A and B are shown apart, each in its own frame.
Chain A
Amino acid sequence: MPVTDKQVAALHALLTGNGAKNRQLVAELRSGDGGAGYSALVNAAFFEAVDRRFGKASTPASIIEYISDVRSRSDEIAEKVDPGVGERLIRKVLVGESTDDVDSRTSATVKLFVLAALVADENFGVAELDQFLAKVRKMADYLLRDE
């Protein structure tokens, strides 16, 4: 089943700092069996955002530095973002490192926080964010399609 507009709207709310709208839409997705599409969107958006930021030029030090910078933004964020998992998830995008041993709750949490930080740092305008979401929607559809 392809990604729906509501799933995209939920991710849009998250990536524009509208937590209340995100919570409302996610609750609706949960009750309506829309979780898979939203999860595919988050994973595709994480992959694309990391590739944009680090794909062309990155060093192990720049990845460590970035995760450290994200964690420094508040005590609550530092508590949520495990630095080792954050670095490994970025390397998973860049070089295919395995994260199979990371529990899914930690992986999901770190992914959402790092994704939001990467998008916030991009300072997208309205049109750029729409382009980004259109691209990750296509990528998410690919993750959801039957092999």
Chain B
Amino acid sequence: MPPTGEELLEMDNDKLSRFEKFRRETYKEIDDILDTSEQDSGTIEQLFDPPPTGGHAEVPVGHPVVDQPPSPGVDGGHFVVAGMILAIAGVETVRAIRHTVDKWKGRHHAGDR
């Protein structure tokens, strides 16, 4: 006695009865399955393409990436300029004080005469 479908396919009765429904389609769709295989196997190949990796990040439309201007900050150049200004200001201050003192001394000596 040949094995039953349940024994042959190791399916329970419910699953086997659902599978049996594909018997009619097997014969009904022969030409369509052959035609689709021949015509669409190139498109079906796309399902096996690896997902794109690496490359550049996608930019959503309407949100262009714009380089931001550098944020203001203090660098070495700023310290050099500030140092020079302070030095000039210092020299000028010393010169002005000396000039004032000399002027005062001159008046004082003139008063002595």
A residues with a Cβ closer than 8 A to B are 10, 14, 16-20, 22-23, 26-27, 29-30, 35-36, 38-40, 42-44, 46-47, 51, 70, 73-74, 76-77, 80, 92-96, 104-105, 107-109, 111-113, 116-117, 120, 138-139, 142-144
Contact = CB atoms under 8 A, between A and B. Distances in A.
B31 interface: yes
Contacts of B8: 138, 142
B100 interface: no
A16 B38 CA distance: 15
Given A19-B41, A113-B40, A138-B9, 7 more contacts: A14-B44, A93-B18, A109-B40, A111-B33, A112-B33, A113-B44, A142-B8
Interface in B9-64: 9, 15, 17-19, 21-23, 25-38, 40-49
Contacts of B38: 23, 26-27, 30
B19 A104 contact: no
Interface of B: 5, 8-9, 15, 17-19, 21-23, 25-38, 40-49
Contact of B25 (A94, A107, A113, A138): A107
A108 B21 contact: no
Nearest to B23: A143
A39 B29 contact: yes
B17 A104 contact: no
Contacts of A40: 26
Contacts of A70: 47
Contacts of A27: 38
Contacts of B42: 19
Given A116-B44, A116-B47, A10 B9 contact: no
B34 A74 contact: no
Contact of A39 (B5, B27, B40, B43): B27
B113 to A, nearest CB: 106
B32 A107 contact: yes
Nearest to A147: B23
A139 B33 contact: no
